[in-house]
Amino acid sequence: MPRPSQMAAEIDLAADVLVLGGGPAGAWAALAAAEAGARVVLADKGRVGTSGASAAANTAVIAAPDAATRAVVMERRLARGFGLVQAETVERVLDEAHGRLLDLGAWGYAFARDDAGAIYRGTLRGPDYLQLLRRRLHKAGVRILDHSPALALIGDRAGAAGAWGVARAGGARWRVRAGAVVIATGGCAFRSKALGTHGLTGDGLLMAAELGATLSGMEFSGQYGISHVAATVTKNLIYGWASFTDATGRRLEGEDPFEILARHLPEGPVYAMIDRASPAIREGLRRGQPNIFLPLDRLGIDPFTERFPVTLRYEGTVRGVGGLSIDPRGATGVPGLFAAGDAASRESLVGATSGGGGPNATWAIASGCWAGAAAAAFAAGTDARPDGGPVAEMPLLDDAGLAEGLRLVQDELFPVERNFIRDGAAMRGARQRLGEGWRRLRRAGRAPAAGLDAARLLRGRELAAITATARWINAAALARTESRGIHRRRDCAATDPAQARSLSVSGLDHPVATKSEAVR
């Protein structure tokens, strides 16, 4: 079983703050740390500016420039949170994001304008937004390691002290020793093929848990996105104006598009047509979210007049809620370890409902800035330790073993019959099967270190993170014996007022869910 400290680092760096993940949350964390005077290294699995869910499309963001707008947003978030939203978090997120959106404008980002010519800051064009952040990172002196996934943190339960990883090109090992680390590696979509989520495999969750960090909100992960069966875009906005039919043309009734699809897809194909949108709405949809229509246009489908087959793609914790538990500064329970964006739990902002879209994009800005600033302050009071490392197992499975392990997890999480609406007995069966998958990885982790291949190391760690994340979801979903928001249980259909509290999940070999204090 190879450990980081046993492997020579061909790229050896030191920094005050190491940020893992180059999406919006990671970029904002790095900028905030650099603004505080820290030496910052940012390592990303892909290329900073092009990787992650936000880089693939436009995204909404909550812009609340005045008291009236803030009041509306506050009321909406509290109403939609199923009793788990904390008003203080919403206020802090709105404050931080408002200031940073102004910064974006000052840096040259061209916001759209409304019909009256006023600047509209409620939408960000993903590619433009992230490329601007990349330029700001360079200007701030942040050292960027593109295509350099982290595999394990350096440190122990006394604190995080850096990370170790590999470069995709050439397979060189890198090590960054740091006074503090920010996990901004995104959520986990379990390789569901939803656009922009292929690299989102929960890597940061696993690395943090190996140091003893806990998670929360993991049961609120029954989130799916709607897409054409042959496409990967899972923007759901247009389906609010859709009619749904089955293979015979029979109209499928219901108010909630997700519930309609979850109920009827197990029986056969379901088709959508956006025939309830007025001409003005159609024009607005095409202008505001053009990427939604690209796959349909390429297939020669007019979605307003023709029906097309749709499916549900699982989005896991990317547009669900769960992630690492953090305090208001972005700190996990491990000294020197911070988290931001989809890698952190958004429960206090969105409660038991999806954080997809505006809430997640706004959270990425705010939580990234908080974590970066707090990490810089922490690093200023400590020295980067020279070495050490967690017991980070590196499963060395062959291609067949990797494929089998991934299929095992997907078979438990993707079917809407199992995960859109859950059932205690089925989840207990899943717990056993996922546990066996985890133990198989543990056994594979005892393979000798000789002949290590960087790509295979990465794939093994990704599978370990995917499997661990699935087990944390399972443990939390079993422990919440009620239905609340996007956690729906067939055997516990009612919402229990006594369970209006968070569940913390921890542990690797034996995940355990415990109840926290009730939300104030």
* Distant-in-sequence, close-in-space partners of 457: CB < 8 Å, separation ≥ 6: 151, 166, 394, 396
DSSP 519: P
Mean pLDDT for 381-398 is: 65
Give the strand pairing for 215-216 and 501-506. Answer: antiparallel
Task: Tell me how far apart the alpha carbons of residues 7 and 152 are, in angstroms, rounded to a whole number.
Answer: 12
Residue 282 has pLDDT above 80, yes or no: yes
pLDDT of residue 314: 94
Phi, psi of 178 (to 5 degrees): -145, 155
Residue 520, pLDDT > 50, answer no
Banded model confidence at residue 7, pLDDT cuts 50, 70, 90: low
Q: Does an H or E element contain 428, and which?
A: helix 424-444
For residues 292 and 15, the model is more confident at 15
Model confidence pLDDT, tens digit, residues 306-330: 999 999 999 999 999 999 999 999 9
Residue 515 confidence (pLDDT): 80
Q: Which amino acid is at 267?
A: E
Tens digit of each residue's pLDDT (9 = 90 or more) over 454-472: 788 899 999 999 999 999 9
First-residue to last-residue Cα distance in the chain: 45
Q: What pLDDT, in 10s, does the model give residues 33-64?
A: 999 999 999 999 999 998 777 887 788 899 88
Query: How confident is the model over 18-28, as pLDDT tens digits?
Result: 999 999 999 99
Cα–Cα distances (Å) from 191 to 1, 270, 398, in that order, read: 26, 23, 18
What is the pLDDT confidence band of residue 232, given thresholds at 50, 70 and 90?
confident
Whether the pTM exceeds 0.75: the reply is yes
Query: Range with the lowest mean pLDDT among 108-112, 119-123, 442-446, 504-508?
Result: 442-446
What pLDDT does residue 297 have? 92
Backbone φ/ψ region at 159: left (φ over 0), alpha (ψ -120 to 50), beta: left
Per the prediction, the chain carries an average pLDDT of: 91
75-84, 152-161, 242-251, 357-366: segment of lowest average pLDDT: 152-161
pLDDT single digits (tens) 151-203: 999 987 678 999 999 998 888 889 999 999 999 999 999 999 888 888 899 99
> What residues contact 443, with CB distance under 8 A and at least 6 apart?
none
Q: Quick one: pLDDT band at residue 452, thresholds 50, 70, 90? A: low
pLDDT score, position 390? 47
Nearest Cα neighbor of 25 from 517, 445, 365, 410 is 365
Q: Diameter of the chain by CA atoms?
A: 68
Q: Reduce the DSSP state of residue 500 to 3 states and report it.
A: coil
Query: What percentage of the chain exceeds 70 in pLDDT?
Result: 93
Q: Enter the DSSP assignment of 179.
A: E
- The whole-number average pLDDT for the span 258-279 is 95
